[in-house]
Amino acid sequence: MLPPLFRKAVRDSSDGRVLCLAKHDRWNCLTGFGLSRKLELEDQLDREEDRALARGVDFDREVRSSQLNGFVELPFDDSGRFVMPEYLRDLGNIGDGLFFQGGGRFFTLWNPAELMRMSDDWAAAKAACAALVAEAEAKGKKK
C-alpha cells in the first residue's frame, strides 16, 4: 500500500491513480514514480549519453532506454492499495516488509533487510526503517 504522502505525490503526478514501478538499476530495490516522469526519460537518456561521450565511455542507448522504460503501470485505489507483480517482488527481493524512501522525481521501495545492507550514506533511512519495523513488531505482539 502506498503511504499517504507518496500516494498524493503519485496521484498528482499521474492525473489519477497510476503508480509506475521498476527495478532500480543500481540498488537492490524498486523505484516508483508517477506518469509525468515518463516525459523526462528521453531527456535523461540524452544527458547520460552526452556525459558518457564527454568521458570517452561507451554508452548503449538501447540498453539504457530499456532499463528506464522497463516499468509497469499499476492502478491503485483511494487507500493506496495496489497489486505488485510477482516478478517485481523477486527483482527487488521484496518480502513481507516494505519501506518507502525518498521523494522528488522518484522514490525507492525496499525490503528492510536489503536497506540495512546499504552503506552509512543511508544512515537516516536505515534508522527510520528500523524504527518503523520495531513499531510494527510491537503492535504485532499486542495482538
> What residues contact 63, with CB distance under 8 A and at least 6 apart?
none
Residue 45: in which H helix or E strand, if any? helix 41-55
CATH number at residue 96: 3.40.1550
Pure H helices in 83-122: 86-91, 112-116
Return the C-alpha cell found at 13: 503526478
Residue range(s) defining the domain that contains residue 74: 4-142
Residue 51: in which H helix or E strand, if any? helix 41-55
pLDDT in tens, 90-140: 999 998 889 999 877 899 999 999 999 999 999 999 999 999 999 988 887
Number of compact structural domains in the chain: 1
- Where residue 31 falls among pLDDT bands split at 50, 70, 90? very high
CB 16 within 8 A of CB 34: no
Q: What is the pTM of this model?
A: 0.85
Residue type, 100: F
Number of residues assigned to the chain = 143
By C-alpha distance, which of 110, 98, 104 is closest to 31?
Answer: 110
Average pLDDT, the chain: 91
What backbone phi and psi angles, to 5 degrees, belong to 89? -55, -45
